[in-house]
Amino acid sequence: MCQTRPVRIDTEADLQTGLAALACAQPRFAAIHAETGDPPLRRRPGGFAGLAAIVVSQQVSTASAAAIWSRMAARLAPLDHAALLRARRDKLVRIGLSGGKIRTLRAVARAIEAGALDLDGLVDRPADEAHAVLTALHGIGPWTADIYLLACLGHADAWPAGDLALQESARIAFGLAERPTARAMVPLAEPWRPWRAVAARLLWSYYRVAKGRDVTPVPPPLLARSA
């Protein structure tokens, strides 16, 4: 019988539980797993700092994101929502944040400060509900929300349907005529609930095997968890 009760994906043992459940629900995953080996866990700290790292990494090179993050961690230490709210806009601009990212980070920080947002508690909510909470925040798009849930919280059912590499990997893995859209990726993955985050890890690994490139989304390195 397939394991249907999800756990947080915090450890390699949790990942193995999810892989076994996926192979039970869709035998093709067993063949994919045999080709790829175990996908990397790649967990990152959560809280405000974890979400901020993903926001910082958007639309800039890995090197630029790492440099901006290093300055943020040094100049706003300890880096949490309160430190962000205390910082003047000109200081954040000098750190390297764009106006849009400043507005997004302040919106997140204000929601935490007001008690309207519990980032860590999202792991205990259904994936679709947790996704909706995050995307309701100014500047937090679907991809950012899903990567935070998957990589930072270890949510077992997070599903980054808009990730292009994930779409292409699904096309190859399941012999689809064309790359599925973000909308089409939702019903495709419906039978894989509540382990869609494990399916995403496995398909990213399959993309690496098929294309020779590692595309697993990884935020910039974080210091100690601060929120």
Domains of the chain, by residue range, sit at: 12-42+156-211, 47-152
pLDDT band at 224, cuts 50/70/90? Answer: very low
State the average pLDDT over residues 156-185.
Answer: 96
What does pLDDT average to over the chain? 91
Contacts of 163 (CB under 8 A, 6+ apart): 143, 146, 200, 217
- The region of weakest confidence among 1-5, 20-24, 77-81, 107-111 is 1-5
- Angle, vertex CA 48, rays to CA 151 and CA 103, nearest 5: 110
pLDDT band at 222, cuts 50/70/90? Answer: very low
The confidence score (pLDDT) of residue 219 equals 52
Integer Cα distance of 80 and 137 in angstroms: 17
Please answer whether residues 70 and 62 qualify as being in contact, where contact means their C-beta atoms are separated by less than 8 angstroms: no
pLDDT band at 4, cuts 50/70/90? Answer: low
pLDDT band at 42, cuts 50/70/90? Answer: confident
CATH architecture label of 47-152: Orthogonal Bundle (1.10)
- Residue 156 has a CB neighbour count (10 Å cut-off) of 26
CATH no. for 12-42+156-211:
1.10.1670.40
